[in-house]
Every structure is written in structure tokens, then in C-alpha cells.
Structure 1
Amino acid sequence: MPLLIYSLLRLALFGAALGLLYVVGLRGWLLPIVAVVVALALSYLTLTKPRDAATRWIAARADRRAAERAVFPNVDADAAHEDAQVDQRFRTD
């Protein structure tokens, strides 16, 4: 969930920068490029807490996945063996 919140906040910053630059008078292909740069800088400066929360969430998820792989290391091998048995059983040679 923190990743979704951080992403939505960054999109909101981009939308605000886009709207503000449009009102100021920037038009054409340069408008979205400058808006991306402004939103990137603003998100780096203002969204440190949501960014850190998203980073912690991603790291915790990676740790959980690594722990699951450590507990069940042969899940892929077991699935491949089961698939081979099913294929052999229902072969129509």
C-alpha cells in the first residue's frame, strides 16, 4: 500500500506541475517534459517519508519472498515433476 500512495502522490505532483506550467503559458511538446522534471525535483524534495515507507515495504516483501523460497526450495522442481507425470499419463501416442 505505501507504494501505491507514493505513486499517487508523484502523479499528483506531475498533474499540479503540468497545470501550473500550462497556466503560466508553457505549451507544446516542452510542457510535459518540463512538468516531468519539475515533478521529479519536487517529489525528491518533498516526498521523503512516503518514499522511505515504500522502500521499506518493498524490502519487507523481498525478505518474505526469500524466506518462502528458503522454506520451500523445491517448489519449481516439484511442479515440473508433476507436470511431467500428467503429460506422461495423458499422452496420446
Structure 2
Amino acid sequence: MSTVVAQPEVLAASARELQAITAGMQAGNAAAAAPTTQVTPAGADMVSILTAVNFAAHAELYQAVGARAVAMQEMLGAVLNISAGSYEMTEAANAAAVA
């Protein structure tokens, strides 16, 4: 038989910290969106234009990947919160059964 040891308060604290990190990532991504996706070409020549388009394409790809990362972090935070509540209810039920 395996034994699981969990501290619900630590799980809940971790979820709160992850939410703060996620909010910071969202703010950083939002702040970087316009300056990186709307790159002005350095000159009127074709190389400058293509370079600006290339940088903008990379920035758009980063924004898409960043949005997925934020979504995954939000899901992880939700799982941590649910797990904390589940462990807390289980501990309370076990304590009531023993008492």
C-alpha cells in the first residue's frame, strides 16, 4: 500500500504564486505585443522590409506560444487549487472517522 503525504496549505500557496507569475507573463506579453509585431522597416529597400516582416512573424509566433503557455499555467493553478481542496476534505473526513 502506498502512502501519500500532502499539505493542502502548501498546494494552495503554490497555486497563488503561480497565478501571480501567470499574471506577470500576461502583462509582459501584452506589453511586448505591439512593439514587436508592428516593426517598422529601417529603410525603403527590400531587405529592410523583409527583415521587418520576418521579425513581426516571429513576434506573432511568440505571442501564440506565450498564450498557450499562459493557458497551461492557468490550468495548472486550477488543478493545484482543486487538489488542495480535495486533500483538505479528505483529511477532515479521516479525522472525523477516527474521532
Instruction: Considering Cα pairs closer than 8 Å and 6+ residues apart, tell me whether 1 or 2 has the greater RCO.
Output: 2
TM-score normalised by the chain length of structure 1: 0.36
Point out the structure with max Rg over C-alpha. 1
